[in-house]
Amino acid sequence: MIQNLGRHILGEYYDCDRSILDDTERVERYMREAAVFSGATIVQSVFHRFSPYGVSGVVVISESHLAIHTWPEYGYAAVDLFTCGDTVDPWKAHDFLAGRLGAQRTETREILRGRLESSHPLPHKPMPATA
C-alpha cells in the first residue's frame, strides 16, 4: 500500500491587503494563528522585514513548517504549508491565511511528500524502539 509522510501545499495569494503584507508583526501573528487553527504544534518562528518592503518568515511546527514571502507592492504572497502526519490539516491553514491576508484570489497545488510503500502506519516522527 502506498502511503504519504506529508502534504505540501504551495499557495499563490493575489490581491491581498497591501498594508498587512508589509506588517511583520501581523504576518507573523496570522501565520502562528494559522498553525494553531490547523492543529499544529508551534516550535518557533522567525520573521524578517525587507527594505523598502516585504516580509519573509517561517513558523516551524512539530509537524514541519509554514512559510511565507510577501510582495506588498503587488498585493501578492507566496505561501508554503508543509505538514506531516494526519493530525494537522494544511487546508485549514490555507483558508485561514487567505482570509486574514484579504486574498481576493488564490491558486494552490498540493504535493504528497514521502510516498512510500508500507503495510504499517507511517508516523511523522520516529517511533521509539520496541523490545
Q: Which of 16, 38, 65, 69 is catalytic?
A: 69
Is there a catalytic annotation at residue 69? yes
Please tell me the total number of residues recorded for the chain in this structure.
131
pLDDT one-digit tens code per residue, 29-38: 999 999 999 9
d(CA 46, CA 65) in angstroms, rounded, equals 11
Q: What is the pLDDT of residues 26-74, one digit of tens each?
A: 999 999 999 999 999 999 999 999 999 999 999 999 999 999 999 999 9
Give the global pTM: 0.89
Residue whose C-alpha is closest to residue 46's, from 58, 34, 33, 29: 58
Eight-class DSSP state of 83: E
Whether the predicted pLDDT of 131 surpasses 60: no
16 is catalytic: no
Residue in 16, 38, 65, 84 annotated catalytic: 84
Among 38, 64, 65, 94, the active-site one is: 64
98: three-class secondary structure by DSSP: helix
Domain 2-113 has CATH 3.60.90.10: yes
- Is the pLDDT score of 120 beyond 80? no
- Domain range annotation of the chain: 2-113
- Mean pLDDT computed over 78-82: 98
Read off the C-alpha cell for 123: 508516523
